[in-house]
Structure 1
Amino acid sequence: MMHVDYLIVGDGYAGVFFAHQLIKNKKSFRLFSAGKRAASHISAGACNPVILSRFNKIWKHQELMNYLPIAFSEVSEYLGKNYLLDQPVVRVFHDEAERNTWLEKAHSDKLSHEISDKVLELHHVNNPYGGGKVIQSSRVDVLGFFKAFHQYLEEQGVMIKESFNYQLLDAQQKTYGEISFDKIVFAEGVKVKDNPYFGTAPVVPNKGHRLSISIDEILDPYIISKKHFLVKMSEEDVYYGGTNDKLGDGTEQVEQKSVDDLVGNLEDLYPHHYRVNQVLVAQRATVPDRRPIIGRHNSLHDFYIFNGLGARGALNGSFFSKMLYDFIENNGMIFPEADVQRFYLSNKML
């Protein structure tokens, strides 16, 4: 029987960033990948310290933004490339009132280090009121990052390309088929609902649509934000999305109303010819209190959850993977707002 220090279930941002912590600390592991499209895999990869709908900082914004380049630099040591790109977010203002609010916030103590007080004029989208740049923002080359990371795991022989079968897991003996392990981390996103150990975690599937389009015109070199993100991912793929369909049907079927809304908003922003190549759909793992869920099972003390990263998968995944690892291995602390214990203590989890 093979023995490893860890099993990881899930291959999105949570799974691969926790795998990074194990690689960095020379721990043995196997990561289970069902080979299915996750929300992480089709995200824009925007890393942004500001909630653009309200012009407020995200929770723990400075800690997350400070650690992000450190994590990608570490990963680049074995992937051979840094997939964090210097591509800032630019908010296209809806009207004069929004522009004035932005400028007021940019001159306040609250956001003066996060947003620019310079009004930009973009050249290839409709922006009669201009736009504002988020100073600390950047973008992950999502497709390149996951392709390279998964390939690296395969080359190292540590990726198991199959769906995790809970019936093969012996929680008392800590075995999975012919593998024995010390600890297991479930980083399954919305699939956690099928997990017999963490299935009552209040993870809410949030359906997101995004368009993959082709354009003939040059696009301004930013992550352009107006209702949704418009950004060039590659020569073949321009991203527009993603929707936030809280009342979705619970499946990954394309919903025409969401597509129609995206097309309408895109045409309001982008005045040139474009072609829709594909509509991509996935379910984000969100939490009602908008905080990740990380930590230890209430009774199985070698079972852990890493979930609820929401729309900020790269930011939350990189930072909280280290927090979870330090908690497990070094008796570190977990922010109470992100600790799974908040749900055990309030009887929201069994």
Structure 2
Amino acid sequence: MNSSFDYCILGAGLAGLSLADSLQEHDLEVCVIEKDDIGSGASGTPGGLVNPATGRRATKSWKAEACYEAIAENLEMVSHYSKTPFYRNNGVLRPALTKKMAGKMRERFRETTWSEGWCHWLPEVEIKEKHPGITCIEGGLWLPVGITVDVGRYLQAYGSYLQEKGVHIITGFEPKPNNSSTGWEIRHNGHHVDAENLVYATGYGTLSVEYWKNIDFHPIKGQVATFQSNSDPLGFDHSLSSLGYIANLGGAEDNTFIQGSTYEHDFEDTAPSTYGKDYLRKRLRRILPGLEEHSEIIDQWSGVRLSTPNRKPVLGRHPEIQNLHLFAGLGSKGLLYGKFLAEHYVDHLLNGTDLFDEISIHRMLEKN
């Protein structure tokens, strides 16, 4: 292969594929290079939620409506490129586990303007009617708009969709780009890629890139486990968000579910561990003790994502190299943020619109 592109994107996760999609929509020539396989990094979790109420207080996510619309439309479009379903519009239940938590969640719910039908406060009795056996104190939230996604399968289907649209995707080698007077050059095993612009969407791998050494990233390891009930089917259709989350991809008649996630700021390696298993089982026992008692872990996954001081992604040009870009730090909200921010960055690149202050790279550079 010997080709020239307008943009070469390093990384085929949520950030990289979303950006490739948005660039290609404007008839730009795009190449994506991934050192492993599509969705092989932290983006490729087997179970994730599109949940616009985050944190212990269930705070409405930043740009929730715009982000939700972008990912919901994209999931539907990409679904036609997968042989098996990879997402469900099944809602998310958020029970409060203590009186203090209930008070803070209810207060935040009352002071937040939610789109009609997005979020409801349910008293304890209704939460327990909706989900018998669940731990709940005083009530919680029901979000009918919640979506459960097998993110790894979504990204694989997304890659197929983009390739059909004309995006070149190369996997299986770690690129070593060289900056020249005309742009960027990448050569490896018969591949010769020339690109006017280079974008790093490499997630955890960004920490080892000299160009971005001054960006204040914080790596966080997350582990999830696939559980299988040894007794009856689950009996509930929705997913849960409480002390992590339970992603229900199979519905009420299935007997498997995904429990996530650990939030490990100090870790020695990136592999799944016994600590992860114990932690996730303990969390499950707190929320659904009956289900935990009759379930076993049949698979485990881990990945490392990047967070920032304000827990928002980082987008922008390198301060000294104008044809070098960064799209990273999506953290735990990559599924919700990815497509919307890709469209926002392309609008910035092509039309000169200002980046949102909360996600602009300038907020990070001004501190250094």
TM bucket (normalised to shorter chain) is 0.7 to 0.9
From 207, 230, 233, the equivalent of 1:218 is 233
> Aligned-pair RMSD on alpha carbons?
2.7
- Work out the CA distance in 2 between the residues paired with 1:23 and 1:74: 15
From 242, 248, 254, the equivalent of 2:267 is 248
- Work out the CA distance in 2 between the residues paired with 1:128 and 1:157: 48
More moved, 212-221 vs 316-325 = 212-221
Identify the residue that residue 247 of structure 2 maps to in structure 1. Answer: 231
Give the structure-1-normalised TM-score.
0.88
More moved, 138-147 vs 324-333 = 138-147
8 A contact 1:85–1:140 mirrored in 2 = yes
Identify the residue that residue 21 of structure 1 maps to in structure 2. Answer: 22
Instruction: Please show how residues 155-194 of structure 1 align to structure 2 within 5 Å.
Output: 158-166=168-176, 168-174=177-183, 175-177=185-187, 178-194=192-208
2:326 aligned with 1:333: no
8 A contact 2:57–2:101 mirrored in 1 = no
Deviation at 1:45, TM superposition (A): 2.5
8 A contact 2:13–2:43 mirrored in 1 = yes
More moved, 69-78 vs 236-245 = 69-78
Identify the residue that residue 202 of structure 1 maps to in structure 2. Answer: 216
2:54 aligned with 1:54: no
Secondary structure, aligned partner of 1:183: strand
Deviation at 1:4, TM superposition (A): 1.1
Deviation at 1:314, TM superposition (A): 1.4
Identify the residue that residue 316 of structure 1 maps to in structure 2. Answer: 337
Deviation at 1:301, TM superposition (A): 0.8
Identify the residue that residue 93 of structure 1 maps to in structure 2. Answer: 96
One-letter amino acid of the counterpart of residue 28, structure 1: E
From 107, 110, 113, the equivalent of 2:112 is 110
Deviation at 1:20, TM superposition (A): 1.2
Distance of aligned partners of 1:192 and 1:320 in 2 relative to their CA distance in 1, 3 Å threshold: same
- Work out the CA distance in 1 between the residues paired with 2:318 and 2:49: 31
- Identity within the alignment, %: 21
More moved, 122-131 vs 274-283 = 122-131
Deviation at 1:97, TM superposition (A): 4.6
More moved, 275-284 vs 210-219 = 210-219
Instruction: Please show how residues 11-90 of structure 1 align to structure 2 within 5 Å.
Output: 11-35=12-36, 37-42=40-45, 44-73=47-76, 75=78, 85-90=88-93
8 A contact 2:260–2:280 mirrored in 1 = yes
Secondary structure, aligned partner of 1:301: coil
What's the CA shift string for 1:176-232, capped at 9, x where partnerless? 222211211110001012223223322221001111111243332112122021122
From 311, 318, 325, the equivalent of 1:290 is 311
Give the structure-2-normalised TM-score.
0.84
Unaligned ranges ≥5, structure 2: none
